[in-house]
Amino acid sequence: MSCTVAIPSSPVFSPSRRSLSCKAASSIASPETVSVAVSSPAPTPAAGSPLRPFALRAHLREEASPSPQPGTAAAAAAASAPAGAVLKRRRPAPLVVPVGGGAAAAAAAAAVAAVESDPRNEVEEEGDEFAVYCRRGKGRRRVEMEDRHVAKVALGGDPKVAFFGVFDGHGGKSAAEFASENMPKFMADEMDKVEFSDSDEIEQAVKRCYLKTDQEFLKREESGGACCVTALLQKGGLVVSNAGDCRAVLSRAGKAQALTSDHRSSREDEKERIENLGGFVVNYRGTWRVQGSLAVSRGIGDAHLKQWVVADPDTTTLPVDPQCEFLILASDGLWDKVENQEAVCIARPLCVRNDKASRMAACRKLVETAVSRGSTDDVSVVIIQLQQFSS
């Protein structure tokens, strides 16, 4: 059976201007079909009708709804779309990143490979009186070995004089490399001008050597700097000097004796010296730094801080007696992780044998101890036997 119902005054259908038709699905058991037709427009219910508020509310809602502008792209798309179609959002165009860095990537990889294969990443040197072992650090930003050393026996052709040193570069290897290559020559020249018996003259010669090394490096107008510790040995005498935080420690009958004091910006006397020269020292992320930049207060190079970071060394002179067993010169990569007495205790069982293999083993053990404790800095260690230099 089929029927048609017209409801011209219903407020439910009054806002709509489209005809609504619904048919029962064919799967329904009843064969009847119901069609509902709505005339448009629908009159508003008479005043006083209980349906009038709903009709007015629907009418106001229809007037408040904005009508699409016929000139817009959205209106045009809606008009062209078939009834009941769902408009899809257009997928944005893919972002194409040009691949033009192949050559640059290859060059970077080649540079890394060259750094990793540099023979200076691990250095061994030994002689009848000394042993040296240096290892490149694995710090995240470290790209090259910045430590250098010197071991010059028979300085200036004099078999009674020997010169040893460790140079810890910062901001690159240039200053450390220059100092290790040139300081022995400058020291030999200065020692020719003094008498070995006069300790004051020798200390002044060492100071002139440091200052000349600094001046000659600054003439190259290269960046970076280096901390230094050196030992000048002659029969019966030892002269130890430093500028920066490289350190010299003497084993005297098994007891550690520090022969140098680190030149760090945190030292009160160094802070006062820098402030008297018009500079300042600030604590930046837990480390005191000159002009907020450098943690050490003395060294070779550092042209941009030269007014405050001087190359003037501190020097200690002492006789070499039978109780003086061996001397350790090392960069701060060791001393930041190993205490003075501990270093002596690690090296002494090997150094008392007074042979090359044992001295080298002692150097390696010290470096490996620092690395095992988390040192990511370059570590350089020089061990010098002092028995043959004793008076």
- Give the mean model confidence (pLDDT) for residues 20-37: 44
Asked if residue 314 lies in contact with residue 228, where contact means CB atoms within 8 angstroms, the answer is no
Residue 62 has pLDDT above 70, yes or no: no
150 and 249, same domain (yes or no): yes
- Our CA dihedral for 173, 367, 140, 147, rounded to 10 degrees, sits at 0
User: Would residue 94 count as lying in a domain?
Assistant: no
Q: What is the CATH number of the domain that holds 246?
A: 3.60.40.10
Indicate if 246 and 351 belong to the same structural domain: yes
In a domain, 369, yes or no: yes
Q: Flag whether 63 is in a domain.
A: no
Same domain, 351 and 212: yes
Mean pLDDT on 226-249 = 95
pLDDT more than 90, % of the chain: 59
140 occurs within a structural domain? yes
Range 144-159 average pLDDT: 92
Q: What is the pTM of this model?
A: 0.72
Residues 29 and 123 in one domain: no
213 is a domain residue: yes
17: containing domain: 1-47
Domain shared by 180 and 316, yes or no = yes
Going by their DSSP bridges, the two strands 225-234 and 247-252 should be labelled as: unpaired
Q: What is the pLDDT of residue 144?
A: 86
Total of domains in the chain: 2
**pLDDT per residue over 306-356, tens digit each?**
999 999 999 999 999 999 999 999 999 999 999 999 999 999 999 987 788
Please check whether residues 252 and 373 belong to one and the same domain: yes
With b meaning 16 or more CB within 10 Å and e meaning fewer, what string describes 196-234?
Answer: eeebeebbebbbbbbbbbbeebbeeebebbbbbbbbbbb
- Tokens representing residue 314 in the block: 């501190």
**Residue 84: predicted pLDDT:** 56
More confidently predicted of 101 and 189: 189
Residue appearing with tokens 């190359």: 311
Q: Are residues 9 and 123 in the same domain?
A: no
Asked whether residue 278 is domain-assigned, the answer is no
How confident is the model over 76-105, as pLDDT tens digits? 555 555 555 566 677 777 776 665 567 767
d(CA 257, CA 248): 9
Q: Give me the mean pLDDT over the 217-230 stretch.
A: 97
CA quadruple 289, 290, 293, 299: dihedral sign = negative
pLDDT of residue 121: 87
Confidence of residue 263 (pLDDT cuts 50, 70, 90): very high
